[in-house]
């Protein structure tokens, strides 16, 4: 039986190396990466994935050169202005998570507009992580809970996993079934640390700009062959 993940996340890595291999600028790599994102949204929707969460820019990516950061922010503006109607027509509901106050005010406005326009779409839920870092998300959730304790709304002992999850930026998303990272790097780079506790992980050497429908299908096929036990005993007998 084919099991399809309801929620997949992707660390879209390798734009720079893709460009370097071709003697192109990093910007050209990021542009091609944007095309791969556009195609992946459509491919994921066609294949029946309901929730797609992608890592677009990490809190650590602010450490890159001002030229690279402004290139990436320029592309983000382009995406939010020019892709919006296409995404909307495709029935995608767009949401952005991350430290929004670190983004330029005009980008924040574009994000708010995009979220409002697509709010009632339901074909596929697309969450883009921008200026996102999982440690920062966890610290901020802790602050929210500490504030509630200080206000006398809850006791420290009331804090449990559910309450904590409710304070994360992904609180309205279902559990993460599958995390894919492209470009051959075998690390998480501060993405969704809490949420991946029981996600299946797929690492591929494909550089993000080359990630096409066949690559997504391969990742879904890998997922389909996994046995998810969540710590319980193997009931299929496969391990005997």
Which residues are known to be catalytic?
A: 13, 61
Closest CA to 177 of 199, 201, 196: 199
Interface with ligand IPE, residue 133, by CB under 6 A:
no
Instruction: Report the residue number, 43 or 53, with the smaller CB distance to ligand IPE.
Output: 53
Chain residue at closest Cβ approach to Mg ion: 13
Helix 105-118 to helix 66-82 angle, to the nearest 10 degrees?
30
The widest CA-to-CA distance across the chain, in whole angstroms, is: 60
81 binds, among Mg ion, ligand IPE, none (CB under 5 to 8 A by kind): none
Cβ–Cβ under 8 Å, residues 179 and 192: yes
Taking the C-alpha atoms of residue 76 and residue 131, their distance in angstroms, rounded to an integer, is 12
**Distance (Å) of CA 58 to CA 165, 181, 205, 217:** 21, 14, 21, 26
Backbone φ, ψ for residue 103 (5° rounding): -90, 155
Residue 56 makes contact with Mg ion by CB under 5 A: no
Q: Exposed, middle or buried by CB within 10 Å (0-12, 13-18, 19+), for 219?
A: buried
CB of 208 to Mg ion, least distance (A): 9
Helix (H) or strand (E) holding 214: helix 213-224
How big is the site for Mg ion, counted in residues (CB under 5 A)? 1
Q: How many residues bind ligand IPE (CB under 6 A)?
A: 17
Measured CA to CA in angstroms, residue 115 lies from 128, 130, 204, 224 at distances of 11, 14, 31, 32
Closer residue to Mg ion in complex, CB, 56/98 = 56
Interface with ligand IPE in residues 161-180 (CB under 6 A): none
Shortest spacing between CB 69 and Mg ion, in angstroms: 14
64 vs 88, beta carbon nearer Mg ion: 64
Quick check: 185 binds ligand IPE (CB under 6 A)? yes
209 binds ligand IPE (CB under 6 A): no
Q: Which is nearer to ligand IPE, 12 or 114 (CB)?
A: 12
Residues 35-94 that bind ligand IPE (CB under 6 A): 55-58, 61, 72
Residues binding ligand IPE (CB under 6 A):
11-17, 55-58, 61, 72, 183, 185, 187, 189
């Amino acid at each position: 039986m084919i099991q399809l993940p309801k929620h997949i996340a992707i660390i879209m890595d390798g734009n720079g190396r893709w460009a370097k291999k071709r003697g192109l600028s990093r910007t050209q790599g990021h542009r091609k990466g944007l095309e791969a994102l556009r195609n992946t949204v459509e491919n994921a929707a066609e294949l029946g994935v309901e929730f797609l969460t992608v890592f677009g820019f990490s809190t650590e990516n602010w450490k890159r050169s001002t030229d690279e950061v402004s290139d990436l922010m320029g592309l983000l503006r382009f995406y939010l202005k020019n892709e919006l109607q296409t995404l909307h027509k495709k029935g995608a509901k767009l949401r952005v998570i991350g430290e929004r106050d670190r983004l330029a005010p005009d980008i924040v406005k574009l994000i708010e507009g995009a979220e409002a326009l697509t709010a009632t779409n339901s074909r596929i839920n697309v969450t883009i992580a921008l200026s996102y870092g999982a440690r920062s998300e966890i610290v901020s959730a802790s602050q929210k809970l500490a504030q509630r304790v200080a206000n006398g709304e809850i006791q420290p002992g009331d804090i449990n996993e559910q309450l904590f999850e409710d304070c994360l930026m992904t609180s309205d998303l279902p559990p993460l079934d599958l995390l894919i990272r492209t470009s051959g790097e075998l690390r998480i780079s501060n993405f969704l640390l809490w949420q991946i506790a029981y996600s299946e992980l797929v690492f591929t050497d494909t550089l993000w700009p080359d990630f096409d429908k066949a690559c997504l299908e391969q990742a879904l096929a890998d997922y389909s062959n996994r046995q998810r036990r969540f710590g319980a005993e193997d009931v299929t007998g496969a391990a005997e």
